[in-house]
Amino acid sequence: MRETPRPQGTVGDTGSRPPQLHPGRALAHTPGASSSGSPHRSDSRPPQTPRGARRSGPDGRPGTTPPVPGRPTSLPGPVGLLGVLGCLGLPAALFALITWQVVAHGPLARADERLSRSLVHPDRVSELLADLGGVPVAVPVLAVVLGYVALSARAAGREGWWRAPAVAAVLMAVVPAVIVPLKELVARPGPPVMGPGTGFYPSGHTATAVVAYGCATLLLLPRLRTARARRGLLGLCLAVNLAVAFGLVRRGYHWPLDVVASWCLGALPLTVAVVILDRGVSRSSRRSSAGTPSPRTGPS
């Protein structure tokens, strides 16, 4: 009988034999393969990371954590600039409209006076709520927050620990420098319960409350760890400002438009504070990420 020769393997042969490992090729440039039995990459990282397990970067794309140094974490370029201009332009335009109506005693100012006559009911509660926007109450609250933020940042060894409190203090000092000349310039008479006199537009109590409690909230927000706590602080700030406005109008200290105009004015320094503080946080985070050494996973 003749022996049937075995068919030799071809290039496309898919046999059941496991692939043979040829030493000297792929393992020639993988350090630690001969000693550990589990090859490593040449840069001492794990052999492969599944795409789904990668941590996303600050923009939601697969990347490194913390962010790559030099890449901004906030909205860059025209998008962020348009947002800032919108936050500044809308309150400024509304304030200009209200001021024009008050000075010219236009239809909006006359409707404001009619509304005030139906809202004014002086009582002790409204007086106490209005006092929350006074300098003796709002400014000390801001001062306590400034001291706490400055001391805790300095104790933590943060560079530029004084910048954020200094920004808030300067913005608070700007409020009377703007409000007092406007009161003299517009010279609006007050509600009937206040008797004769002028200088009620815009409301100084409202502007003080907006800037003082708003800056205090902006400084405390980054120090709260949970979203629930941050929402609670924002809600408290909003509630206090609404309470001040309610007390001023109900007690008869101010016309409603005096309060609305001061809200518009207060939104301007708060927007500036948000931009400056956000840039400071982004700069410090980039600096810390640039100075943090990457962990070594390979053999030392």
What DSSP designation does 150 have? H
Backbone Cα Rg of the chain = 33
Residue 19 domain-assigned (yes or no): no
* The total number of structural domains that make up the chain: 1
Q: What is the pLDDT of residues 51-98, one digit of tens each?
A: 545 555 544 445 544 444 444 444 444 546 666 776 788 999 999 999
CA 169 to chain centre: 18
pTM strictly above 0.75: no
Q: Phi, psi (5° rounding) for residue 56?
A: -85, 155
Residue 8 domain-assigned (yes or no): no
Distance CA 123, CA 252 (A): 10
For residues 220-237, give the mean pLDDT.
95
Neighbouring C-beta atoms of residue 132, cutoff 10 Å: 20
Which pLDDT belongs to residue 295?
43
Residue 9 domain-assigned (yes or no): no
Residue 43 domain-assigned (yes or no): no
Residue 143 domain-assigned (yes or no): yes
Q: Phi, psi (5° rounding) for residue 189?
A: -65, 155
Query: Is 164 a residue whose pLDDT tops 60?
Result: yes
What DSSP designation does 164 have? H
Task: Find the helix or strand (DSSP H, E) in which 282 lies.
Answer: helix 256-291
Work out the pLDDT band at 300, boundaries 50, 70, 90.
Answer: very low
Residue 117 domain-assigned (yes or no): yes
Residue 60 domain-assigned (yes or no): no
Work out the pLDDT band at 184, boundaries 50, 70, 90.
Answer: very high
Residue 208 domain-assigned (yes or no): yes
Q: What is the pLDDT of residues 11-42, one digit of tens each?
A: 444 444 555 555 544 444 444 444 444 444 45
For residues 96-105, give the mean pLDDT.
96
User: Which range marks the domain in which residue 121 is found?
Assistant: 77-287
Q: Phi, psi (5° rounding) for residue 242?
A: -65, -35
Neighbouring C-beta atoms of residue 178, cutoff 10 Å: 15
